[in-house]
């Protein structure tokens, strides 16, 4: 189970209230909460470990069967960002109205400052990222739909763009009909859910597993999710207000006053180095897929620690504490276990031969060789087909009889040949 002891009392209270009200998995609530908090911070705060710099960007996939109440907790946690988007959209519409009324082509066109993206094409997503430099969160209740859409755009390089977004690498988009678009250090967290029954067909694509796309996800896969019974209980208004105020304060907080950096150093850095080396040793004893998972967790452990610091007991400090780093390491151990569960499902899907429907000719051949009738003609009459058709089926599927026919050979008796 994902631990919560490294978080503030207020954050733990929000988590406990959601779990108690919706009777859902605590793991999925914690993972979703981290994704939302990281998005509220965005690129205004970078986590500096002395060698690399990371933004608090997470790709979270909650896995549970249908009816496990995956969606309602996510929607509750996302509500403050939805409310802010609605407010910003009203401002954008007013500015756009004034812009059009002015008729000044040289004036800068207003943009919609948003935090959430749901269903969008790669082109639209790139446009959103270009005008929202602080970053966005891509939310899809059912991630299967989003992943299935990726296949439509593979030729346009969408998958490689997503890998660049995860790594915050600059993206340059060149299109004949539009101006060149430069997206500097893109930030896009992803949050959604999926059912275990469709894991393999969604994430089992050879390309996605081979290029590291699947390994970049933090899969939240609880061992068991009890069914939610009917209850009239609702989230207390005090808890909802606390969460809304917390997110709004994050959106308004001026991280630049402290340099816009959160540092991993001193004793906390030692904890990280120890965990990093632990994962390095784990890579030696595993295959390429899980070795790639360990490599991504060496990055995620820093991102997670940065968000844990924001959700912790001393969020205004510029240093991640050793306790917060140790807490993040324990959370990564949970995600390693979930990644291994997912990998087992994906591997079992590869080993299982695809079931193909049996055609009429194969069915005829199987019936013949199984029942061994006296002759082809009688067998053909029983099925209401011609004897040459039976001969064709037997020749095509001669492997079912244990030997292969030549082009002028029949399987039946001399009377049939006449």
- For the stretch 231-266, pLDDT in tens is 888 999 999 999 999 999 999 999 998 899 999 999
pTM: 0.82
Q: Which two tokens stand for residue 407?
A: 């082009």
The domain 9-351 is placed in CATH, from the list 3.40.50, 1.10.150, 2.60.98, 3.30.310, at 3.40.50
Q: What pLDDT does 399 receive?
A: 67
**What confidence tier does 406 reach under pLDDT thresholds 50, 70, 90?**
very low
Provide the strand spans (E) within 29-97. 46-48, 53-54, 59-63
Of 79-83, 348-352, 366-370, the one with minimum mean pLDDT is 348-352
| pLDDT at residue 156, rounded to an integer | 55
pLDDT above 80 for 14: yes
Question: Residue 410 has what pLDDT?
Answer: 41
More confident residue, 179 or 402: 179
Output phi, psi for 193, to 5 deg: -140, 165
Those residues with Cβ within 8 angstroms of residue 254's Cβ, 6 or more apart along the chain or in another chain = none
Q: Give 127-158 pLDDT, tens digit per residue.
A: 999 999 999 999 999 999 888 877 554 455 78
Whether 68 has a pLDDT exceeding 80, the answer reads yes
Q: Which residue has the higher pLDDT, 402 or 116?
A: 116
At which residue do the structure tokens 């939240």 appear? 220
Strand (E) or helix (H) holding 288? helix 288-310
Segment 220-224 long-range contacts (CB within 8 Å, at least 24 positions apart): 220/2, 220/25, 220/27, 220/28, 220/31, 220/60, 220/61, 220/62, 220/63, 220/335, 220/338, 221/63, 221/64, 221/196, 221/338, 221/341, 221/342, 222/1, 222/25, 222/27, 222/28, 222/63, 222/64
Q: Sign (positive/negative) of CA torsion 17, 22, 26, 30?
A: negative
Stretch among 26-35, 44-53, 194-203, 394-403 having the lowest mean pLDDT: 394-403
pLDDT of amino acid 412: 42
| Range of lowest pLDDT (131-145, 189-203, 381-395) | 381-395
Label residues 90-116 b or e (16+ Cβ within 10 Å = b): eebeeeeeeeeeeeeeeeeebeebbbb
The span from the CA of 233 to the CA of 18, in Å, is: 10
State percent of the chain over pLDDT 90.
Answer: 67
Mean pLDDT of 283-303: 97
* 18 to 63, 72, 74, 103, 140: CA distances (angstroms): 18, 9, 10, 49, 20
User: How many Cβ atoms are within 10 Å of 314's Cβ, its own excluded?
Assistant: 11
Rounded CA gap, 313 and 307, in Å? 12
Q: Which two tokens stand for residue 54?
A: 């990371």
The pLDDT value given to residue 350: 65
- Give the mean pLDDT of 123-130: 90
- According to the model, what pLDDT value does residue 207 have? 87
Q: For residue 217, what pLDDT is reported?
A: 98
In this predicted model, what pLDDT tens digit does every residue of 307-358 receive, in sequence order? 999 999 999 899 999 999 999 999 999 999 999 999 999 998 765 545 456 7
Every domain of the chain and the residues it spans: 9-351, 360-417
Q: Look up residue 341 and give its two tokens.
A: 């569960």
Name 407's Cβ contacts closer than 8 Å, sequence gap at least 6: none
Average pLDDT, rounded, for the chain: 89
Task: Examine the pLDDT at 29 and tell me if it is beyond 80.
Answer: yes
Would strands 53-54 and 46-48 be described as parallel, antiparallel, or unpaired? antiparallel
């Amino acid at each position: 189970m994902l631990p919560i002891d490294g978080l503030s009392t207020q954050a733990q209270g929000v988590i406990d209230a959601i779990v108690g009200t919706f009777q859902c998995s605590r793991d999925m609530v914690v993972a979703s909460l981290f994704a939302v908090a990281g998005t509220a911070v965005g690129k205004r705060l970078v986590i500096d470990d002395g060698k690399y710099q990371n933004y608090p960007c997470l790709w979270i996939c909650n896995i549970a069967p249908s009816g496990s109440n995956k969606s309602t907790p996510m929607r509750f946690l996302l509500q403050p960002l939805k409310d802010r988007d609605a407010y910003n959209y009203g401002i954008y519409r007013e500015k756009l109205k004034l812009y059009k009324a002015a008729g000044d082509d040289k004036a800068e066109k207003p943009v919609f400052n948003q935090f959430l993206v749901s269903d969008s094409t790669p082109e639209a997503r790139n446009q959103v990222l270009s005008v929202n430099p602080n970053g966005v969160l891509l939310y899809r209740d059912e991630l299967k739909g989003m992943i299935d859409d990726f296949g439509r755009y593979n030729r346009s390089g969408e998958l490689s763009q997503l890998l660049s977004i995860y790594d915050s690498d600059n993206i340059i988009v060149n299109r004949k009909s539009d101006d060149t678009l430069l997206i500097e250090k893109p930030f896009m967290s992803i949050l959604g859910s999926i059912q275990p029954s469709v894991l393999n067909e969604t994430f089992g694509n050879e390309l996605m597993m081979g290029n590291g796309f699947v390994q970049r996800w933090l899969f939240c896969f609880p061992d068991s999710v009890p069914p939610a019974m009917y209850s009239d209980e609702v989230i207390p208004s005090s808890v909802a207000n606390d969460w809304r105020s917390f997110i709004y304060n994050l959106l308004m907080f001026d991280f630049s006053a402290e340099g816009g950096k959160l540092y991993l150093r001193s004793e906390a850095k030692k904890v990280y180095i120890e965990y990093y080396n632990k994962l390095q040793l784990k890579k030696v004893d595993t295959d390429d897929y899980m070795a790639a998972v360990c490599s991504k967790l060496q990055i995620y452990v820093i991102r997670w620690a940065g968000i844990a610091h924001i959700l912790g007991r001393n969020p205004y400090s510029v240093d991640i504490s050793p306790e917060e780093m140790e807490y993040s390491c324990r959370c990564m151990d949970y995600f390693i276990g979930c990644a291994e569960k997912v990998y087992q499902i994906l591997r079992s899907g590869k080993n299982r031969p695809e079931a193909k429907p049996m055609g009429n000719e194969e069915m005829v051949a199987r019936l013949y060789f199984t029942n061994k009738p006296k002759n082809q003609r009688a067998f053909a009459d029983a099925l209401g087909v011609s004897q040459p058709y039976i001969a064709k089926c037997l020749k095509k599927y001669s492997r079912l009889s244990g030997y292969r026919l030549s082009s002028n050979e029949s399987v039946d008796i001399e009377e049939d040949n006449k």
